[in-house]
Structure 1
Amino acid sequence: MSKTKEKNEHRLFVAIRLPRHLKAQLGRWIQFKRSKWAFKKWIHPQDIHITLHFLGSTSEEKQEEIVSVLTEQCKNQDVFSLSLEGLGVFGREIQPNILWAGVRGEKQKLHQLQGKVTASLETVGFSLESRPYHPHVTLARKYKENGFILPVDENPWEAMNHTWSVKDMVLYKSILGNEPMYHEVAVFPFFNEKPC
């Protein structure tokens, strides 16, 4: 692949953003925990999101098709509400790859949205996900030691205003080495904003 072509491609993904106040609250929680838990990388508060579909390296021409199909798909999308729930990990429990916050609320509508997004993107050449969809908010990656203990009874979000209305979704691009790393390419408002 030529360098010119590489410059015209971006690593893209579609996601739900969290409101600013909640990102700020999570940022304070991360700042407190980073001195106690030895994860290699903690997520920048502005990068916090719920992934709907990862697209990978994508050309600018293909990006226009993505924007078109996602705009159309959001025309009849209802607003719905979500909140945070507990903590979990992916990978070995004593040395996890990912620490995440769970999601609750109108999860059926979230799963339906993710299915519609995936189906829309399939029409422009993107493959369906092979793994079941597991919505979550990534907080940290790669525990450096051996012996992590997940506090199963801890609900760190209880004191936070952690319920919000999902009114849009976002196409993000990753700029590796930047902090924050994820930047909005396009926002897709849900036009059907009547009560769900």
Structure 2
Amino acid sequence: MTNRLFIALEIPDEVKDKLIYLRNEIYGAGFKKIKWENKDKLHITLKFLGETEITLYPELKNTVSETVEKQKKTLLSFSEFGVLYNNTSPRILLTGTEKNNELQCFKRNIDDRLSELGFEKESRRFDPHLTIFRFKRAEDSIIEEKFLNKKIENVKFTTEKIVIYKSSLLKSGSVYEPVDAFFMK
């Protein structure tokens, strides 16, 4: 039996509230084709594990715990909005973070340790981000421009909590359930 799992950096509620306020301030009204991410789904994915055998979970949990316990807390800042594309159509609007060497190093450590358990190392560059909403289909460029012309100022937090989530895919969308949480020193 398997569970669909991923590892994420938890975002404090006050930071989520600031980003939602900014989103609503920019958003205005009238864009019904956008699926906003719920507050409880806002996180920074560090590693998508996919379908994972439940018999492997104790070893996975121990490995993540050991890696997180060695990691110092660091200050992380959201800097700007960005768009991920599927071919030429916008797919996701996100908030990117300022460059943070400690987080990059932590991500590499997680990848290295999990590769020892048989999880594949990421080949693409790690760009930490938070998904704000998903386009259901190609939208007018005015939506992108509305957000991309806006900078994110003074939205910072100290990294603290890493969570292993179980992800269930339903007709209504994905549901994330925290399985375990670990705290940086």
Q: State the Cα distance separating 1:188 from its structure 2 match.
A: 1.3
What 5-or-longer segments of structure 1 have no aligned partner?
Answer: 192-196
Asked if structure 2 preserves the Cα contact closer than 8 Å seen for 1:95 and 1:148, the reply is: no
Equivalent residue for 1:98, pick from 92, 101, 107: 92
Counterparts of 2:28 and 2:121, CA distance in 1: 35
Within a 5 Å distance, the mapping from 1:42-81 to structure 2 comes to 42-81=36-75
Match of 2:132 in 1: 139
1:133-183 CA-to-partner distances (Å, cap 9, x unmatched) read 11111111235244224334312x33xx52110012111111233788212
Counterparts of 1:39 and 1:28, CA distance in 2: 20
Asked if structure 2 preserves the Cα contact closer than 8 Å seen for 1:46 and 1:180, the reply is: no
Q: State the Cα distance separating 1:125 from its structure 2 match.
A: 0.8
Residue type of the alignment partner of 2:95: A
Asked if structure 2 preserves the Cα contact closer than 8 Å seen for 1:95 and 1:147, the reply is: no
Match of 2:114 in 1: 121
SS in 2 for 1:55: strand
1:79-121 CA-to-partner distances (Å, cap 9, x unmatched) read 101011111011169731111101016x111100100011111
Counterparts of 2:79 and 2:129, CA distance in 1: 9
Counterparts of 1:46 and 1:172, CA distance in 2: 12
Match of 2:10 in 1: 17
Asked if structure 1 preserves the Cα contact closer than 8 Å seen for 2:5 and 2:167, the reply is: yes
Aligned: 1:110 with 2:93: no
Aligned: 1:154 with 2:150: yes
Counterparts of 1:44 and 1:127, CA distance in 2: 29
Asked if structure 1 preserves the Cα contact closer than 8 Å seen for 2:167 and 2:174, the reply is: no
Asked if structure 2 preserves the Cα contact closer than 8 Å seen for 1:38 and 1:143, the reply is: no
TM-score normalized by structure 2? Answer: 0.85
**Aligned-pair identity (%):** 28
Counterparts of 2:45 and 2:102, CA distance in 1: 15
Counterparts of 1:27 and 1:45, CA distance in 2: 8
Match of 1:26 in 2: 19
Match of 2:158 in 1: 165
What 5-or-longer segments of structure 2 have no aligned partner?
Answer: none
Asked if structure 1 preserves the Cα contact closer than 8 Å seen for 2:3 and 2:53, the reply is: yes
Counterparts of 1:39 and 1:53, CA distance in 2: 29
1:15-63 CA-to-partner distances (Å, cap 9, x unmatched) read 1011011112333444562844454422111100111110011122112
Residue type of the alignment partner of 1:104: E
